Amino acid sequence: MSARRIFARPARLAAIAPYLWLLLFFLVPFGFVLKISLSQTAIAQPPYTPLFDLGGGWTEIRSAFAALSLDNFKLLVSDDLYVLSYVRSLYVAVASTFMLLLIGYPIAYGMARLPRRWQAVAMVLVIVPFWTSFLIRIYAWINILQHDGLLNQILLALRLVPSPVVWLSTDSAMYLGIVYSYLPFMILPLYATLARMEPAIEEAAADLGAAPWQVFWLVTFPLSLPGVAAGALLCFIPIIGEFVIPDLLAGSNALMIGQTLWLEFFTNKDWPVASATAIVLLIVLLVPLLLYERLQRRQLEEAR
């Protein structure tokens, strides 16, 4: 037995309450999603037929199993609407993660180069928007991008465009919104790895004859890859399921999967199809989620 173990016994007891909470409010609900994704749609309240009633006894359960249907999943595969929105979500997530990396890296690099005292200030400045309401930040862009908004006013005043440009309800506006909202998520992990790096390592590379771009490409960038991975996953995963940004900024001709799910649930009131959509989305996310979980655990282990 060691000192750590003396401490470990009471510490483990602390897990009981959060463990039970998460089982009840995180794990069990997924069971319900799965169950309802396999049941039939009904025009009722709630709008689906209960799968089985345990009060009904054995025959009831058997008939319920017979009624289990993969119809909702078949619908997802056969209907272009769903397939297209999954593909679009993946595409948007990959593209915007790439843009975030391109924009976030120089900012994080600039932060890591500042003198210590200013680094702390820059860090706070990047974190503050992260605390500020997501919805309000998107709304701020609607203000700017609308037909007679500030952007068009400036462009017209400078005579760069003959008439107001349509910004809202376009993919450009959506990408702008995504990059704007997720930028702190990309910058912070990148900054964390870049700031931890010994300045002497870059100096050693320069001392051994590497030009500045070689120092960056051969030393700095490879060493920052864990931060790149963390930042990319931290953005990629939630962007796939994003609802608010595409709903407010993008056009309605092509939907992301989060919008489709929302639409099925709130507008079409088709809970089984919405649940099936969620299950498929979860499967799509499984690999990046597991990657992220591994990364997270390794980082915490390193911090010890």
Partner 1 sequence: MGLAGKMAEESSRIDAGAGPGPRQAAPADGDVPLLRIDKVAKKFGTFRAVDGVSLDIAAGEFFALLGPSGCGKTTLLRMLAGFETPDEGRILLGGRDIAQVLPHERPINMMFQNYALFPHLSVRDNIAFGLKRAGMARGEIAARVAEMVALVKLDGLEKRKPDQLSGGQKQRVALARSLARRPQVLLLDEPLAALDKKLRESTQGELMELQRRLGMTFIVVTHDQEEAMTMASRIGVMDSGRLEQVATPHELYEAPNSRWIAGFVGDVNLFDGEITSRDNHRLTIATRDAGTLVVAEPRNPVTKPNVSVAIRPEKVKLSLRGPATDAINGSSINRLDGVVAEVCYLGGSTNYKLKLDSGSHLRSSIANTARIDIDAYGVNQHVVAWFAPDDCLVLEQ
Partner 2 sequence: MARRRVSSFNIASLALGLAFLYLPIVILVIYSFNASRLVTVWGGWSLRWYAELFNDDAMIEAAWMSLRVAGASATIATVLGTLAAVALSRGERFRGRTLFSGMLYAPLVMPEVITGLSLLLLFVALNAERGFWTVTIAHTTLTMCFVAVVVQSRLASLDRSLEEAAMDLGCDPARAFLAVTLPLIAPAIAAGWMLAFTISLDDLVIASFTTGPGSATLPIRIYSEVRLGVKPEINAISTLIVGFIAVIIVVASLASKLSSAQGENAAPL
Tokens of 5: 């173990």
Residue closer to partner 1, measured from CB, 1 or 303: 1
* 6 vs 208 by CB, closer to partner 1: 6
Look up residue 115 and give its DSSP letter. Answer: -
**Which residue of 1, 54, 158, 300 would you call a contact of partner 2, by CB under 8 A?**
300
| Least spacing, CB of residue 92 vs partner 1, in Å | 47
Q: Judged by CB under 8 A, does residue 106 bind partner 2?
A: yes
Contacts to partner 1 from residues 82-141, by CB under 8 A: none
Q: How far is CA 206 from CA 114, 129, 214, 223, 247, in A?
A: 19, 36, 9, 16, 49
Tokens of 239: 């962007």
| Residue of 249, 257, 238 whose CA lies nearest to 185 | 238
Q: How far is the CB of 69 from partner 1 (least distance, A)?
A: 53
Question: Which of 38, 174, 240, 250: binder of partner 2 (CB under 8 A)?
Answer: 240
Please tell me whether residue 14 adopts helix, strand or coil conformation: coil
15 binds partner 2 (CB under 8 A): yes
- Residue 304 contacts partner 1 per CB under 8 A: no
Which of 255, 261, 270, 273: binder of partner 2 (CB under 8 A)? 261
What is the total residue count of the chain?
A: 304
3-state secondary structure of 41: strand
Among 82, 175, 180, 182, binds partner 2 (CB under 8 A): 180
Report 191-210 residues binding partner 2 (CB under 8 A): 199-200, 202-203
Count CB neighbours of 3 within 10 A: 7
Q: Could you tell me which of 249, 245, 268, 270 has the C-alpha nearest to residue 258?
A: 245
CB of 4 to partner 1, least distance (A): 9
- Residues 21-80 touching partner 2, rule: CB under 8 A, are 21-23, 25-30, 32-33, 36, 46
> How many whole angstroms separate alpha carbon 180 and alpha carbon 176?
6
Measure the CA–CA gap between 201 and 218, rounded to whole angstroms: 11
Which residue in 142, 156, 166, 223 binds partner 2 (CB under 8 A)? 142
Residue type, 96: S
Q: Which is nearer to partner 2, 115 or 162 (CB)?
A: 115
- Residue 292 CB, shortest distance to partner 1, in Å, is 30
Counting Cβ atoms within 10 Å, is residue 197 exposed (0-12), middle (13-18) or buried (19+)?
middle
Q: Which does 7 bind (CB under 5 to 8 A by kind): partner 1, partner 2, none?
A: partner 2
Taking contact as CB under 8 A, which single stretch among the options 2-10, 131-139, 156-164, 223-231 is the one that binds partner 1? 2-10
- From the list 237, 251, 254, 269, which residue makes contact with partner 2 (rule: CB under 8 A)? 237
The single-letter code of the amino acid at 59 is T
Task: Specify the 3-state DSSP secondary structure of 48.
Answer: strand
Binding string to partner 1 for residues 6 to 35, with x set by CB under 8 A, is what? Answer: x-----------------------------
Nearest distance, CB of residue 56 and partner 2, angstroms = 16
For 47-72, b where at least 16 C-beta lie within 10 A, e where not — what string? bbeeebeeeeeeeeeeebeeeeeebb
Which of 3, 27, 287, 303: binder of partner 1 (CB under 8 A)?
Answer: 3
Question: What CA–CA distance (Å, rounded) separates 294 from 264?
Answer: 33
Cβ neighbours for 281, distance < 8 A, ≥ 6 positions apart: 86, 240, 241, 257, 261
- For partner 1, the binding residues (CB under 8 A) are 1-3, 6
